[in-house]
Amino acid sequence: MDNRIVIRSIKLPFDTHEKEALDAAFIKAKKAGIKLDRSSLHIHKRSVDARRGRSKDSKPSFIYSVIGIIDSLPTKEKLLSIDAVLLGEDEDTPIFGSEKIEGRPIIVGMGPCGMFASLILAKYGYRPIVIERGADVENRRRAIERFYSTHVLEESNIQFGAGGAGTFSDGKLVTRINDPKCSFVLKTMHELGAPQEVLYMAKPHVGTDKLFDVVNAADERIRELGGEIRYNTCLCDISVKNGKLDKAVLSDGSVFSDPVLVLAIGHSARDTYEMLYERGVTMTAKPFSVGVRVEHFQKSVDESLYGEYAGDPRLPAGEYNLSYRKADRGVYTFCMCPGGEVVAAASEDGGVVTNGMSRYKRDGLNANAAIAVSVLPEDFGNTPLDAIAYQRNLERSAYKLGGLNFAAPCMTVGDFIEGKECGLSEPATVMPTYMNGNIKPAPIQKLFAPYVNGMLLSGLSDFARKMRCFSDKNAILTGVETRTSAPLRILRTDEYTALGIKNLYPCGEGAGYAGGITSAAVDGINIAYAIMKKWSPQD
């Protein structure tokens, strides 16, 4: 029996010491007849409830979950009476297969999915070979700095390199999936150098600056456990014969026969998608989203959430998650970065792409978030290649509208709402952060189809009713946001193998099975267990 219990929904004013949350949990359990080891209690999760923060007679609250050790199994009725659950195991016990691997497993991609698949496989003696088309952390950082100063895009960029696209984001570890392995991912991230609060915050984040060390530590651990990592190396080609992967060809000239190959390629490896499609790997188009980045002053976000308590150092930088739906289409905020900046996330010449990034302290002047509108397969032609073309055409249009130098088109919320076609009609109070200010005032609405513009307008109007900062017509919109998720799914079986190819394992965000760092990492773990269940470890 797992003898840990989590007692949830303990709500206290934000300025209350967390020891009172432990006391409240102990009292709740005692009243329900559940005996807890008082000394074992500690905070499991903490979130902010700011829904009444603007009211003069209320304070923002923290909502705690408390974990502790019990001496006997409570009844389901007792657990329900105090909103408690038993905590399950966070890592499976692997089952090892007997089929012999020809060579070593190949992991394509060193993002969170490939990284966790590699960590697990290396831990259990499978000595994986990891290939990553971008560079290691330090050389990747230098390549991005060069791109910002020279506007010459390299293969190592904000999409490609050690840690994947998430390295240059905010390191958000929030996920909607309910899998015990999420706890294992958080603990592993902490062991690799992430701040301790990722273990208990309801919306944990690492910060881009700290993620560099986490990814480096993962690299070192994989190597120490017998794995190999080859940076600046791509999967160039594959061949399939008799229902299995016959060959895999890498850009360094290596050719692997009958490999066990994990496809953790990320959502931006379009050339790899196209190669796989041509080789007959079964994939289908799926809905995705496109839109813009909005920037407000972080102070305005805090005031919208916390009212008169904005600026209190005990409260975290304000963040939000908003959505609006009309018929079969939605608009929502995505990847909100408190105190962050808008980054240049292009991975192809001739295209402009935006994303958001925050450092650990989240102490920048601006907050930013994507405002994304759902795009349906019937909008672009229903095929995977049509989906890629839709994204690419938007990025190229943004590149042209921005002036052909990776400058991003930019306008105020007010000008967008009023339908002005002159970009910024007057200097904005919120200064754009994209690529050190490499923006061009331009009418962003020219980029999008009417259904996207219509939903952006509806979303901005709805969000303004929910948060005062969205009423600021001087807030900035920068385009274009296209990489919210993969535009396709590589179909796979219940054994996690690609349809009809028994030794090819598509996974993670790039294969359409995850939507962020944590869910991608969990999918990578599942892939590793699937491989171990079928194939025996290395001799």
The string of pLDDT tens digits covering residues 264-313 is: 999 999 999 999 999 999 999 999 999 999 999 999 999 999 999 999 99
> Is there a contact between 85 and 238 (Cβ–Cβ < 8 Å)?
no
pLDDT for position 53:
44
Q: What is the model's pLDDT at position 67?
A: 92
* Tokens standing for residue 348: 């192809």
* CA geometry: angle 319, 325, 330, nearest 5 deg: 80
How far, in Å, CA of 488 to CA of 270, rounded? 11
Confidence of residue 231 (pLDDT cuts 50, 70, 90): very high
Determine how β-strand 329-337 pairs with β-strand 323-326.
antiparallel
What own/partner pairs with CB < 8 Å and gap ≥ 24 does 190-194 have?
192/217, 192/218, 192/221, 193/217
> What pLDDT, in 10s, does the model give residues 488-503?
999 999 999 999 999 9
Question: For 306-357, how does the pLDDT look when each residue is reduced to its tens digit (9 = 90+)?
Answer: 999 999 999 999 999 999 999 999 999 999 999 999 999 999 999 999 999 9
Please give the Cα distance from 300 to 286 (Å, whole number): 36
Q: What angle do CA 82, 85, 90 make, to 5 degrees?
A: 155
Return the DSSP state at 24: H
- Report pLDDT for 85: 87
Cα distances from 438 to residues 159, 352, 442, in angstroms, run: 19, 11, 13
Greater confidence, 76 or 532? 532
Question: Higher pLDDT residue, 102 or 511?
Answer: 511
Q: Across residues 163-181, what is the average pLDDT?
A: 89
Tell me the one-letter amino acid at 162. Answer: A
pLDDT tens digit sequence for 183-230: 999 999 999 999 999 998 888 999 999 999 999 999 999 999 999 999
* DSSP category for residue 386: H
> What pLDDT score was predicted for residue 102?
79
Pull the structure tokens for residue 377. 């397969």
- pLDDT classification of 56: cutoffs 50, 70, 90: low
8 A C-beta contact, residue 495 and residue 534 = yes
pTM, to two decimals: 0.91
Q: Could you give the count of Cα atoms lying within 13 Å of 162 in the half-sphere of its Cβ?
A: 24
